[in-house]
C-alpha cells in the first residue's frame, strides 16, 4: 500500500520532464521531488509554501544567500551592456579582464594567467589537458598520469569523474579512464589503524603515495589533484602536516600539485582559499561555485608564469592554443564574479566566517555526542556529520538501508536542507548566515537526529 501523498501538478510535471542528477531515479515517482519556488537570505521556499534553511548553500555555492540585490543589479547592467561574448581568437571584454585581475590579486600563490570555464568540472578537466599540454611542450610525452585520492570529488566530465574517487561516479559509467591513479584518503577517523596516532597515520599514507609514484615511475606522473578539505567525499579534513608532507614528495619528482578550490574557495574555510587554512602550497588552482556566489555558472583555472610560458612555446610550435569553451568567460558570469568578490571584501565576509566558526565548531562538537554520530568534522563554515550503527566500534550502517538519505528527508521535514553523502550529513550554510540563523539550523538538525534515532531503532537498523 502506498502511504505517500499524491504528487502535486508541478511534481508530476517534474517527474515527467526532468532527468535528475544524483537522485535514486527508481524512487522519484514514489517520493516526488521537492520543488523550490523562491529564496531570500538563507531561506528557500517550496511550492507549498514550506520554509527551509538552505544549509548547503545549494550545492556548496550560494555563499551570499538568495536575493542579493547588488548581484541582481550587476547582472542586469551587464545583460544590457553586453549579454554575451567570447574570448576566442584574441577577443577580450572588460568583465573577464577585471575578474582575472581580481583573482590574481587574491590568489594564495603567484599567478600569471586565468583561463575561464563554465564549471568546476570543466576547470578540473582543463587542468588535466593543460598538464598534458605542458609536458608535451617540455618534451616529456610519457609524463601524463594524474594522481587523485579515494573519496575525492573533482567533477563529472569523463576525466574529472575519473579523478573523483567515489564508487557511484564510476559504477556503470566505465570509469575511471586510463592515466588516473588513486591514493589513500586522508581520513584518520575511518582509515587510521588501531593504536596509530594521527602523525603515524599521515606518515603511512604519505609513504603509500611515495611508493605509488616509485612503482608507476616518476617520469610518467604529471600531477596530483587535491581539495584542501574534501567536500563531496564527506567533508574530510586531513591531519595537520599532511599537505606539507605530500608536497615534499611531489617536488622531489617534479609533479605539480593542482589545488581544487571549487568548494573551499572564497572564504568558506575562514581564509580566501582552503589551501591557506590547511597549509597547502599549490602549483595551479581550480575555482568555481562561490566565485559568482552561484548567481551564474563560471569556473576558472589559475596558472603560474613558468607553466604559462610552456603553453606559449607549444602554441608557437603548433600554431595555436587549441582549447576553449563557448561560455568560458561569459560576461554575465564574470561581472557577477567581480561583484561577488567586491561584496566579500567590503562586507568582510571572511571576518564574518571567522566570527561564526567557534559557534559552528561548538555545535558540531555537541552533535558529535549524539548516539547516531560517529564523528562530526568541520573547518570554517563547512562540516560533515558521519552516522554510524555503533559509536564504540565505528561500525557503519548497511549501505542498502539508506540511512543517510532518509535522515536528509527527516531534516527536510524540520525545515533544514542538508545533503546526505552516503551516511554523512553535510553542512555548508551561506556565509552571510547570522548567529541566530546558524543556531536555528543546528536546532533543526538536532531535532531531526532525535527523530532519526527513533526511526533507526524502530527499523532495527543497528543490528549486525
Q: Could you tell me how far CA 258 lies from the centroid of its own chain?
A: 14
Distance CA 119, CA 300 (A): 8
Q: What is the pLDDT of residue 1?
A: 39
User: Do 214 and 221 touch, CB atoms closer than 8 A?
Assistant: no
User: Do 349 and 355 touch, CB atoms closer than 8 A?
Assistant: no
pLDDT tens-place string over residues 204-249: 999 999 999 999 999 999 999 999 999 999 999 999 999 999 999 9
Q: What is the pLDDT of residue 17?
A: 96
The residues that bridge with 230 in the sheet, in sequence order, are 236
Distance CA 17, CA 14 (A): 5
Distance CA 391, CA 162 (A): 33
Can you tell me the mean pLDDT for 164-168? 96
Is 71-346 the same fold as 34-67+348-459? no
Please tell me the pTM assigned to this model. Answer: 0.96
Can you tell me the mean pLDDT for 197-206? 98
What are the extents of the domains in the chain?
34-67+348-459, 71-346
Q: Half-sphere exposure of 81 toward its Cβ, with a 13 Å CA cutoff? A: 13
Q: What is the pLDDT of residue 3?
A: 60
Task: Kindly report the average pLDDT of the chain as a whole number.
Answer: 97
User: Is beta strand 221-226 parallel, antiparallel or unpaired with respect to 180-183?
Assistant: unpaired
CA gyration radius, the chain: 22
Q: What is the pLDDT of residue 307?
A: 98
pLDDT tens-place string over residues 307-350: 999 999 999 999 999 999 999 999 999 999 999 999 999 999 99
User: Do 15 and 23 touch, CB atoms closer than 8 A?
Assistant: no
Can you tell me the mean pLDDT for 123-137? 98
Q: Sign of the CA dihedral 58, 63, 67, 73?
A: negative
462: confidence class by pLDDT, cuts 50, 70, 90: confident
In the chain, the percentage of residues whose pLDDT exceeds 70 is: 99
CATH topology of domain 34-67+348-459: 3.90.1150
CATH code, 71-346: 3.40.640.10
For residue 167, is pLDDT > 60? yes
For residue 408, is pLDDT > 80? yes
User: Do 283 and 261 touch, CB atoms closer than 8 A?
Assistant: no
Q: Is 362 exposed, middle or buried (0-12, 13-18, 19+ CB in 10 A)?
A: exposed
User: DSSP state, 397?
Assistant: P
Can you tell me the mean pLDDT for 42-54? 97
User: Is beta strand 419-421 parallel, antiparallel or unpaired with respect to 424-427?
Assistant: antiparallel
In the chain, the percentage of residues whose pLDDT exceeds 90 is: 97
Q: Could you tell me how far CA 66 lies from the centroid of its own chain?
A: 19
The H or E element containing residue 276 is: helix 274-278
User: Do 276 and 261 touch, CB atoms closer than 8 A?
Assistant: no
For residue 5, is pLDDT > 90? no
For residue 171, give the C-alpha cell.
Answer: 559504477
For residue 19, is pLDDT > 50? yes
DSSP string for 398-414: PGGG-HHHHHHHHHHHT
Q: Sign of the CA dihedral 227, 231, 232, 234?
A: positive
Closest of 249, 247, 243, 246 to residue 264, by C-alpha: 243
Q: Is 317 exposed, middle or buried (0-12, 13-18, 19+ CB in 10 A)?
A: exposed
| End-to-end CA gap in the chain | 29
For residue 191, give the C-alpha cell.
Answer: 582509515
For residue 4, is pLDDT > 90? no
The beta strand positions in 360-423, using DSSP E, are: 373-379, 382-387, 416-417, 419-421
Can you tell me the mean pLDDT for 411-415? 98
Distance CA 133, CA 204 (A): 33
Angle between helix axes 94-106 and 331-346 (nearest 10 degrees) is 40
Can you tell me the mean pLDDT for 123-132? 98
Distance CA 147, CA 285 (A): 15
- Give the 3-state secondary structure of residue 327: coil
Q: How many residues can be counted in the chain?
A: 464
Q: What is the pLDDT of residue 463?
A: 73
The H or E element containing residue 11 is: helix 9-17
Amino acid at each position: 500500500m502506498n502511504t505517500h501523498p499524491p504528487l502535486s501538478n508541478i511534481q508530476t510535471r517534474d517527474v515527467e520532464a526532468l532527468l535528475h542528477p544524483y537522485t535514486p531515479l527508481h524512487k522519484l515517482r514514489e517520493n516526488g521531488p521537492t520543488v523550490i519556488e523562491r529564496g531570500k537570505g538563507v531561506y528557500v521556499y517550496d511550492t507549498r509554501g514550506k520554509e527551509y534553511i538552505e544549509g548547503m548553500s545549494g550545492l556548496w555555492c550560494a555563499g551570499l544567500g538568495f536575493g542579493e540585490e547588488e548581484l541582481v543589479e550587476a547582472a542586469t547592467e551587464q545583460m544590457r551592456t553586453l549579454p554575451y561574448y567570447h574570448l576566442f581568437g584574441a577577443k577580450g571584454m572588460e568583465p573577464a579582464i577585471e575578474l582575472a585581475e581580481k583573482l590574481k590579486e587574491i590568489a594564495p600563490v603567484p599567478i600569471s594567467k586565468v583561463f575561464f570555464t563554465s564549471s568546476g568540472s570543466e576547470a578540473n578537466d582543463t587542468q588535466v589537458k593543460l598538464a598534458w599540454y605542458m609536458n608535451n611542450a617540455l618534451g616529456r610525452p610519457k609524463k601524463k598520469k594524474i594522481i587523485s585520492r579515494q573519496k575525492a570529488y573533482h567533477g563529472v566530465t569523463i576525466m574529472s569523474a575519473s579523478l573523483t574517487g567515489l564508487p557511484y561516479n564510476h559504477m556503470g559509467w566505465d570509469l575511471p579512464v586510463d592515466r588516473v591513479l588513486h591514493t589513500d584518503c586522508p581520513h584518520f577517523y575511518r582509515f587510521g589503524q588501531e593504536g596509530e596516532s594521527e602523525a603515524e597515520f599521515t606518515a603511512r599514507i604519505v609513504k603509500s603515495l611515495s611508493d605509488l609514484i616509485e612503482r608507476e615511475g616518476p617520469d610518467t606522473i604529471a600531477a596530483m589533484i587535491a581539495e584542501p578539505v574534501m567536500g563531496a567525499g564527506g567533508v574530510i579534513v586531513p591531519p595537520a602536516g599532511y599537505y606539507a608532507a605530500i608536497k615534499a614528495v611531489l617536488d622531489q619528482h617534479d609533479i605539480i600539485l593542482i589545488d581544487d578550490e571549487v568548494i573551499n574557495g572564497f572564504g568558506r574555510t575562514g581564509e580566501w582559499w582552503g589551501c591557506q587554512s590547511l597549509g597547502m602550497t599549490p602549483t595551479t588552482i581550480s575555482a568555481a561555485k562561490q566565485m559568482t556566489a552561484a548567481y551564474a555558472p563560471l569556473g576558472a583555472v589559475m596558472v603560474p608564469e613558468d607553466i604559462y610560458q610552456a603553453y606559449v612555446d607549444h602554441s608557437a610550435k603548433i600554431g595555436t592554443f587549441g582549447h576553449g569553451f563557448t561560455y568560458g568567460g561569459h560576461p554575465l558570469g564574470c561581472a557577477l564574479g567581480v561583484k561577488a568578490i567586491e561584496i566579500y571584501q567590503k562586507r568582510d565576509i571572511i571576518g564574518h566566517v571567522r566570527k561564526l566558526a567557534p559557534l559552528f565548531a561548538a555545535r558540531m562538537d555537541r552533535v558529535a555526542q549524539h548516539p547516531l554520530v560517529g564523528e562530526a568534522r568541520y573547518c570554517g563554515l563547512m562540516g560533515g556529520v558521519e552516522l554510524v550503527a555503533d559509536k564504540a566500534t565505528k561500525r557503519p550502517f548497511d549501505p542498502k538501508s539508506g540511512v543517510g538519505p532518509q535522515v536528509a528527508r527527516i531534516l527536510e521535514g524540520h525545515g533544514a536542507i542538508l545533503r546526505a553523502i552516503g551516511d554523512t550529513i553535510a553542512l555548508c550554510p551561506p556565509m552571510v548566515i547570522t548567529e541566530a540563523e546558524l543556531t536555528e539550523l543546528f536546532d533543526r538538525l538536532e531535532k531531526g537526529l532525535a527523530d532519526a534515532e527513533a526511526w533507526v531503532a524502530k527499523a532495527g537498523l543497528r543490528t549486525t
